Structure 1
């Protein structure tokens, strides 16, 4: 089987890679991360003009991609550069809106880079169970009001619109009672508490008190599950990009750091450890390939593939980060070396959209139910 990207996707990856290499060096990334907004509108607009946002969406919704491997080539490059702009929330919220068949004008503005979306699903006590939604939606005249809260929503402070999963008032606590609602920035009863995250990005908690919202879909669970599957494909490939950078930096250090009159890369014990890391990264890449290929497939096949990928990048990411830091020694923990920032991003990726323990249990459960 040929795992190479087709010509169009490879050109997209090369174009984005060149842009990030030239315009988004690590020192500028740190400055953007430390800014009040936590992302760069200038870079966001530039990448929208390059077609990067459009590649995340299908032709039917105004983009020119939207498949698993379109997501893969973009997020692999974002992971290599530690990009903090709100691509993940845009992908998930935009995909759910596209699948709902609503808000076509808003999606056009999102693809153009003029509007930002956030995807608010997790709650303080929900864990990773998509059916444990305490936020309530009740009808008021021709509209809807939301009450509840959402936790650790990426880049929510700057979002123009927030896509919220909520349970219809009085509905049972299962998949059938969940809807999707669009909340506008500045809506009454909406409060956002923002904060920095460990990887240099920003997140926030939502508090909703009789907050007006537009109902996007009555069948919210299926759309949420599909959007999260796409998000896991994105995170898997972002992790692969970050791990490749860790591997390259560590190999370079082993070739140049000298001890006892020779490069430390000559020591057999370090060679064996590095070989193990390289093999495990390739295993993570294979799992990410499988997830991207399954994204448009049957639900059970898709969900097992994304859970397998998320589990694999969780433990491989931790291994790659730990080994890179240990083989660099104390310098591996310094702020000045990008290594530590890749390690923090990999830790954060493991906890986004379900950690490795959750997805291992889920993979087993999905196999038992099949």
Structure 2
């Protein structure tokens, strides 16, 4: 099997890396954070690079690429700890493209592809933890006329997005809806998250909604699996940059007249960080490649990947802070912000312990035994 990236994928990686280096430096990120954690002009820059249309077919104005191309992009954005939620464009365009009617696809996919509309997934509720089948939001109506009532939490850029993909219960069965932020009955309360991105509580009070699919749980599961794969890719890029910052610091910081990178015990710890990064990278690739598998196989694969990514992000982040010493947790130093991002990613779409339970539940009786 050929695991090398194509020339087009390498060119895509280079273009995004160049944008991060030249146009999204740490100082600009800090300005965005102080302004609220989201900058629409940055999202528009990503759209102008064609990135918002990666997961959308050419028929609807996208690039017609796929998960591996999205992974390449997100790794580079992870290196810059970009706060604008490009991954949400991948999640919502993937689920609309997979489950939406022709009319819904025609109405929204071109807008997502062009960057005209930021559409985000609003699935988290206060009592659901990470269990997707739990949903208190209620939908009423039929045909083309639906309304949704409910409260969704920690919605990425929820007070800045143009529309939401929302799961709600319709006649005791989950369905998936699209609701515009400007619609009557929609209210938002925005805030900064721990990793300095933006999120919001979004309340729907009999808000008019467009039905995406009545197969809501299957569609939501697919959307979250895409989100997990995206989080894994971002995590790999964030860990790579964390490791780079750590080794650069160790080659500059001196104790007893020599750089601390010369201390064997510390070199072993860096080797452990590198090993965890490579384990995470392989599972990130595995996650993206399994998105097209049948649901049971896909779910198990994504949980496996999230377990490894969670373990790796914890090791890399914590070792980086310890190897830096006090400067590693100061707000003025970039390394502390990478640590916060890794911590947030570990919790996104289910923490390590949750997904360890998911992997355990899906084990067969012969798991680990060769017949």
**TM-score bracket relative to the smaller structure:** over 0.9
SS in 2 for 1:152: strand
Aligned mates of 1:248, 1:65 — CA distance in 2? 33
| 1:141 Cα deviation from its structure 2 partner | 8.0
| 1:34-65 alpha-carbon deviations (Å, 9 max, x no partner) | 214x3222222222121111113234543224
Moved more, 117-126 or 252-261: 252-261
| 1:301 Cα deviation from its structure 2 partner | 2.1
Are 1:320 and 2:322 counterparts? no
Q: In 2, are the aligned partners of 1:67 and 1:295 still within 8 Å (CA)?
A: no
| 1:135 Cα deviation from its structure 2 partner | 0.6
Task: For 1:93-108, list aligned pairs within 5 A.
Answer: 93-99=92-98, 100-101=100-101, 102-108=104-110
In structure 1, the partner of 2:121 is 119
Residues 331/258 of structure 1: CA separation in 2 closer, same or farther (3 Å cut): same
RMSD after superposition = 1.6
Residues 74/128 of structure 1: CA separation in 2 closer, same or farther (3 Å cut): same
Q: In 2, are the aligned partners of 1:181 and 1:216 still within 8 Å (CA)?
A: yes
Paired residues, number? 363
Aligned mates of 1:47, 1:234 — CA distance in 2? 16
| 1:66 Cα deviation from its structure 2 partner | 4.5
In structure 2, the partner of 1:271 is 267
| 1:300 Cα deviation from its structure 2 partner | 2.1
Moved more, 56-65 or 90-99: 56-65
Moved more, 96-105 or 334-343: 96-105
List gaps (5 residues or longer) in structure 2.
Answer: none
In structure 2, the partner of 1:224 is 220
In structure 1, the partner of 2:210 is 214
In structure 2, the partner of 1:298 is 294
| 1:197-253 alpha-carbon deviations (Å, 9 max, x no partner) | 011101111222211111111111111111111111110010000100111111111
Task: For 1:175-324, list aligned pairs within 5 A.
Answer: 177-324=173-320
In structure 2, the partner of 1:133 is 135
Q: In 2, are the aligned partners of 1:149 and 1:205 still within 8 Å (CA)?
A: yes
| 1:86 Cα deviation from its structure 2 partner | 2.1
When the two structures are superposed, what TM-score results if normalisation uses the length of structure 2? 0.94
Moved more, 73-82 or 1-10: 1-10
Are 1:71 and 2:73 counterparts? no
List gaps (5 residues or longer) in structure 1.
Answer: 172-176
SS in 1 for 2:363: helix
